[in-house]
Amino acid sequence: MMQKSQIETDDIVLNFLGDRKIKEPKDLVELRAYIQNYLEFREYDEQGKEHEKSIRWKRTASDIIKDGYVYKGKSCSDLSIIFLALCKAAGAEGYLVKLISLDKKNTHSIVEVKLDDKWYRLDITVKDSVPFEGQLPPDQIWNKNWLGGWKLWKRGRDLWDLGLNDINSDINEE
């Protein structure tokens, strides 16, 4: 039976979380580092490209943790899924935020997590990123220095909640 959510809390997620607490913004930074240090970042080359496409947006947090890898340059959603599953297991509410480039050719995932009644957004893929306070407003352009900028496309609990369950999901829908 297929799971209803990519961020379901199970023994794999709980064991991976261990005794980590997620109560303040520094905990988000530490959690990101923990995840990035655990995973193998495989090359997204001709050999790995077809495999990456076959698993994109399909794995649960538990699957990714068990597999122990993501693909360089294609890891944003997988990293966000693990991050959100761990936050949920620790009692912190969060969202996966799917961004679309202004030219509508690329997507990217970041997270928003609520700590002590304040929302913080964080790019899990960037090793030195820091949490920004507040949710991303629909009219705000995010990171203008990367591919010209990004805007909010979709927000939900995980990719499946957003209707994105494989590589053929349409990135041009509004």
pLDDT number for residue 172: 53
Gyration radius of the chain's alpha carbons: 15
- The DSSP letter of residue 146 is S
Alpha-carbon distance values, 107 to 63, 103, 141 (Å): 22, 10, 14
pLDDT score of 4: 87
How many Å apart are CA 154 and CA 159, to the nearest integer?
Answer: 9
- pLDDT for 1 equals 46
pLDDT at 2: 55
Element (DSSP H or E) covering residue 101: strand 94-101
CB-CB contact of 54 with 47 (8 Å)? no
CA dist., res. 146 & res. 81, Å (int): 22
In angstroms, rounded to a whole number, what is the distance separating the alpha carbons of residues 137 and 135?
A: 6
Give the CATH fold of the 11-162 domain.
C8orf32 fold (3.10.620)
- The residue extents of the domains of the chain are 11-162
**67: three-class secondary structure by DSSP:** helix
Residue 142 token pair: 């995010």
Q: Are 117 and 69 in contact (CB under 8 A)?
A: no
Q: What is the chain's mean pLDDT, rounded?
A: 93
Q: Specify the pLDDT at position 137.
A: 96
Can you read off the two tokens belonging to residue 163? Answer: 């209707």
Q: How far is the C-alpha of 32 from the C-alpha of 26, rounded, in Å?
A: 10
| pTM for this model (two decimals) | 0.93
Residues of the chain with confidence (pLDDT) below 70: 1-3, 169-174
- pLDDT of 166 reads 73
pLDDT in tens, 26-71: 999 999 999 999 999 999 998 889 999 899 999 999 999 999 999 9
Specify the pLDDT at position 174.
41
- List, in sequence order, every residue forming a beta bridge with 119; answer none if it has no partner: 114
Pairs from 2-6 (Cβ < 8 Å, separation ≥ 24): 3/60, 4/160, 5/60, 5/157, 5/158, 5/160, 5/161, 6/59, 6/60, 6/61, 6/81, 6/85, 6/158, 6/159, 6/160
